[in-house]
Structure 1
Amino acid sequence: MAAVTVVDHPLIQHKLTLMREKERSTANFRLLLREISLLLAYEVTRDLPVELVDIETPVAPMRAPKLSGKKLVFASILRAGNGLVDGMLDLVPSARVAHVGLYRDHETLQPVRYFFKAPADLTERLVIVVDPMLATGNSAVDAVAELKDAGARDVRFLCLLAAPEGVARFAEAHPDVAVFTAAIDERLNEQGYIVPGLGDAGDRLYGTK
C-alpha cells in the first residue's frame, strides 16, 4: 500500500474550505489554488537532499546547506494540474515541468491520452505528479505509468482532494508512489465526482462551466 500523507496544516484546511464554496468566484478559486499548492509543495519537498557549500555572508564565511542533485520535475496532468504547478513554481522556480494530457471519458470514466512532453532524463530526477483531484484514480494511474515508461523512478503524487476509491485504485497500481493530499473525502458519486468535493476543478479554475 502506498503511503498517504494528509497535510492538515490549518492554513491549508482554511483555504480548502473557501475553495469548496460553490459561490466562490473563478478569480478567487484560482488564487486560492495557487496559494494552497505552494503550501502543499512545502510538505511534498520536505526531504529534498541538500549539501553543504562554502559561502560568504556580509559578516563572515560559513558552510551552509543548498539543494543538491538534479532539478526536480513537476508533472502536470492537463489541464487542471497546471493550477497546482503555478503555485509550486513560485516555491521552486528552477524545477522542470512535464505535461501529461489526459481527459476523462464521462461514459466509461477512463482516461484518454492526447499529449505527453517531459524532460529526457527523468531517471535521475524526483518527479512530482500533480492533479487537483484523485477521484476514480484512473487518470493518475495512467499518468504515472506513462512517466515510469519514460524513465521516472522516484515519483510522488500530489493532489488537493482524494476519494477513498481513488486512493485504493492508485495504491494497487503504484504501491511505490507516495500520495500527498489536503483531504480524503467521503466517496465518489455515480458520475465519478468526489463527495462532498468541490466540483470540477478544471472548470472552476478556468471558468468553463
Structure 2
Amino acid sequence: MLFLSSEPVALDELAAAARVAPEAVSAALERLGEEYAPGRRGLVLRELSGGFTFASDPIAEPAARRLLAKPRAPALAPAQAETLAIVAYLQPASRPEIARIRGVSSDSATATLLERGLIEEAGRSQFGAVLYRTTELFLRLFGLRELDDLPDPSRWDPTPEERAELRDRLLRAGEARSGPPGVRAPAPHAPGQPPEDEAAPEEAATPEPARAP
C-alpha cells in the first residue's frame, strides 16, 4: 500500500485499508524499518508528515540523479491519447477514419505518435489512404502481452437507464429550442421591409365635415 500511494500514509489509514488493528500495523512498520534500513536495499522507510512512505536511500542519490537527468518523453496530450486509442482498437485505421471518429483533424497527433514509435504504417486502404497500427513499443509501455489484453470497451457502454435519461434530455432540449406548443415562429419578411408587428399603423379615417343646416 505504501508503493501505491504517492503521499505518506498514516498508520490509521493503513490499518483501515488492511482491516487489522493499528498495533499490528505498527509492528509491521517496525519490521519494515529494520529490513529497509539505510545502506541495505536502496530504499528506506521514512515517517513524514504524520505518515509513512518509501524513499530512495541517500547512498543511491548519485545514481538517481544520473537517471533522472536523462530527457524523458512528455505525457501524451488528450488528442494523442484519443488517436492512439482509436488505432489500438480499430487497427489498421487511416487518418480519415480517425478524423471522422474524433470530429477534428488528427494529423498532428498521428505525426507525434509516429515520431514516438507508438504507431507505424501498415499499408494502404483500397482508397489509397495510409493505414496505421500499434507497435511492439506500445504493448511494452502499456504492459500488454498482445492486443487481446486491451480492456473491453463494452464496459463503458451506457446502461439502459443512462440511454433513457439521455433521450429525455435530448427531447427536452429540442422542445426548448422549438418554443412553447402553439406558438409559431414569425414569418420571414422581405429585405428592407419591416416585420408585420412593426408595420406602420393604418391611418385613421378623416371625419367628413359637418353639413350646414
**TM-score (norm. length: structure 1):** 0.24
Higher helix share: 2
From the CA coordinates, give the structure whose radius of gyration is larger: 2
Higher relative contact order (CA 8 A, sep 6+): 1
